[in-house]
């Protein structure tokens, strides 16, 4: 039997050097975006464009109040190519039950999601890869691909004593490079570490 762990945390270490952590909720998004552009040596019109992307993505992530959030910018010329966020979630169902619910969540005209139960260093996990429609910024729907890992660290409890896990979600819109992005999401999940007692 696994011992209960109430005082625990976790770290996420993205596998590529192009990740930029979003600002903390008490920091100015605008000041953060300016600093990121400066750190990436982006100036002029390119800084205006990248700054707008940074503010938009960071604000959207911060509205979800995640534990951690990051943007992947391997080359500032291409802007933000992916997002990564992680958060704790209450395990009200087993991973098997969640997997069945995910398999039945189909969108007309899109491929069925890839759903599987896996084992990660941090514990058993559910991995879901899917493409879904999201409202676009300009007009029409935007196709977004995601890989979501729901990790259930053995014995992890929240402050109320309920079983708790970690959700790690990576999203991107460059669908023709989906396998490379999915591989990066899997690497990030493999690097997830549980800390504390």
- Locate 14 and state its tokens: 């993205």
Per-residue confidence (pLDDT) for residue 160, from 0 to 100? 87
User: From CA 78, how far away is CA 56, in angstroms rounded?
Assistant: 15
| Helix intervals (H) in the chain | 29-39, 44-63, 95-104, 178-191
Q: Which of 84-93, 137-146, 151-160 has the lowest mean pLDDT?
A: 137-146
Answer yes or no: is pLDDT of 135 > 80: no
User: From CA 116, how far away is CA 189, in angstroms rounded?
Assistant: 14
Domain boundaries, the chain: 19-79, 83-196
Average pLDDT estimate for 145-162: 93
Answer yes or no: is pLDDT of 91 > 70: yes
Residue 8, classed as helix, strand or coil, is strand
Per-residue confidence (pLDDT) for residue 114, from 0 to 100? 96
pTM value is 0.91
- pLDDT classification of 1: cutoffs 50, 70, 90: low
Of all residues in the chain, the percent with pLDDT exceeding 90 is: 78
Average pLDDT, the chain: 91
Answer yes or no: is pLDDT of 115 > 80: yes
Name the fold adopted by 83-196.
Protein Transport Mog1p; Chain A (3.40.1000)
Of all residues in the chain, the percent with pLDDT exceeding 70 is: 96
The set of residues, in sequence order, having a beta carbon less than 8 Å from that of 140 and lying 6+ positions away, is none
Higher pLDDT, 141 or 38: 38
C-alpha closest to that of 146 among 101, 188, 117: 188
């Amino acid at each position: 039997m696994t011992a209960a762990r109430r005082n625990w945390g976790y770290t996420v270490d993205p596998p590529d050097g192009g990740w930029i952590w979003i600002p903390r909720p008490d920091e100015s998004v605008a000041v953060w975006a300016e600093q990121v552009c400066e750190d990436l040596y982006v100036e002029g019109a390119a800084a205006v464009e990248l700054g707008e992307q940074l503010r938009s993505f960071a604000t959207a992530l911060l509205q979800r109040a995640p534990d951690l959030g990051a943007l992947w910018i391997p080359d500032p010329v291409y802007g933000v190519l992916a997002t990564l966020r992680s958060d704790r979630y209450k395990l009200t169902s087993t991973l098997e039950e969640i997997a069945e619910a995910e398999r039945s969540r189909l969108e007309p005209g899109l491929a069925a999601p890839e759903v599987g139960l896996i084992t990660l260093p941090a514990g058993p996990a559910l991995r879901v890869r899917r493409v879904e429609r999201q409202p676009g910024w300009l007009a029409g729907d935007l196709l977004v691909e995601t890989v979501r890992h729901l990790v259930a660290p053995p014995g992890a409890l929240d402050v109320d004593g309920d079983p708790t896990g970690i959700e790690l979600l990576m999203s991107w819109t460059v669908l023709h490079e989906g396998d490379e992005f999915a591989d990066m999401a899997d690497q990030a999940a493999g690097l997830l570490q549980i800390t504390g007692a």
